[in-house]
Structure 1
Amino acid sequence: MSSLKTLACRVGLLLLMARSAMADCESFGMDFQDGGSYFQNSLSSDPFTFVSQFEALTTCEGCDNDTATNVFVDPNGDQYLCTDTALQPDDTDELSTCPLNKNQLWSGAWSVLILSNNGNDDPIAYERDFELSVGPQNTSTVCFPIYVFADLY
């Protein structure tokens, strides 16, 4: 599994360098966006997940009927291979599940790499960098007094 992670990272870095600024298939983060700051509950044993959407920018070329390989990168640079996501149909939420649970995360700078050969079109590689603040989620209950006014006739 370690060699697969290393291979995915190397391929991803090559694709990131080779990707043109005008790629025909674009990826958008629906929950974790580039440059954002997000909270994760350290008491949750749910896996870390993220949602992407893909969109063809031209009618001739764009997102082929292919999948994206998704890699989650921790603040130390270690990579975790997440589940693949489909590139089609356009503007459809695609969920990727990672092998780390939320209670295994820590605060810091994390990244998601989205990589695909994109079928017969230009390959794509996107990187989303974001900050995670990880800690126990607190819930507070606030009670408001209820006043009853009676008619004084």
Structure 2
Amino acid sequence: MIEIERKYLVNSKDYRSLAFSKSHIVQGFLNSHPDRVVRIRIADDKAFLTVKGRSNSAGTTRFEWEKEIPTPEAKLLLELCEKEILEKIRYFVRTGTHIIEVDEFLGSNQGLVIAEIEIEKEDDNIEVPSWVGLEVTGDIKYYNSQLSKSPFKEWKV
């Protein structure tokens, strides 16, 4: 129930041809407080209720609890969610012993592409492909719950 992950920006579309699978995801937040995030997610034909706790100081580790729920119920819960519903295409790419999940955001966050790598221990060695760029682990503006409040299209670059 502890999630350990690293996040990176993506600097090319090379991951698309390397992906062994992809998924369409729609998600919203019933609560996006930093101490407790409650998310509703529909990924293709499956739906989930997820609760996440506050990240550690490095942003790599936090409590996560997830339960599959009926998709019709998830659709109703999405109607109760905060401001912005996120939509993205997630690509799954194998690298060494890890799987990289690459999120291509749509809608208000279009143009943002983030790679996430879940790891077993914080000091795990990760083989980072050349198309993975700047690490943004711990930068809260890249958290999905924050992207729903402050979408990428509103950022001043």
User: What's the TM-score once normalised by structure 1's chain length?
Assistant: 0.28
Q: Which of these two proteins has the greater Rg computed from alpha carbons?
A: 1
Instruction: Judging by fraction of residues, say which structure has more strand.
Output: 2
User: What's the TM-score once normalised by structure 2's chain length?
Assistant: 0.27
